[in-house]
Amino acid sequence: MSAKRIARAARALCVVLLAVGVLAACSSSDDRLSFEDLSANELDSLYAMREEEKLARDVYLALYAVWRDQIFANIAGSEQTHTDAVKALIDKYNLIDPAIANPPGVFTDPKFQQLYDQLVAFGNQSRINALTVGVQIEELDIKDIASWLAVVERGDIISVYTSLSCGSRNHLRSYYPELAASGGSYVPKYITQAEFDAIVGSPMETCG
């Protein structure tokens, strides 16, 4: 289900809840927020980033299970923090969490399900492939977060996404040197070569 369809489903559910008098789940009050406080772009971004950060975590856990390389376990732990940060925003605005009932490797959005299946299959073929997958995921995250930051307005969402982007840059700085040292190479797919080189050529950042 697409982010827009999830948003529409959330609105429809709230209409039903309001009709039967279950107001707390949907209505705003002095200490509660709802989807009505968000723009369409902000709604779509939260649904997408919740699953995209889960994608990174789930792929890295799957690759760690095959290669037992600590880099995948370490960054999977960081990705857990990332997806939890997006979930906190989903909870804050009383949204339906698209990942709430999904175990590792299962996604609500078919786009992420297909990507997960492809990346894990490729990464399982060799350790160099697995490291390439890590670089690709982090590059995709950097591109997607930048796209969302260009259209969201709420300060809390901007703050979380800014931190996520910082984390993804650090992850890229971890994966790429390991890939290069293992004899692999990488051509950026989502950002420019100049942007990629600037990130991997700069030191680790302290992320908020």
pLDDT digits (tens, 9 = 90+) for 118-128: 999 999 999 99
pTM: 0.84
pLDDT classification of 161: cutoffs 50, 70, 90: very high
Q: What whole-number percentage of the chain has pLDDT above 90?
A: 82
Which residues, listed in sequence order, are joined to residue 29 by a DSSP beta bridge?
Answer: 32
CB atoms within 10 A of CB 108: 23
Residue 157 has pLDDT above 70, yes or no: yes
With a cut of 60, say whether residue 28 has pLDDT above it: no
What DSSP string runs through 118-139?
Answer: HHHHHHTT-HHHHHHHHHHHHH
Domains of the chain: 37-200 (1.20.1260.10)
More confident residue, 162 or 23: 162
* Whole-number pLDDT of residue 36: 83
Confidence grade of residue 32 (pLDDT, cut at 50, 70, 90): low
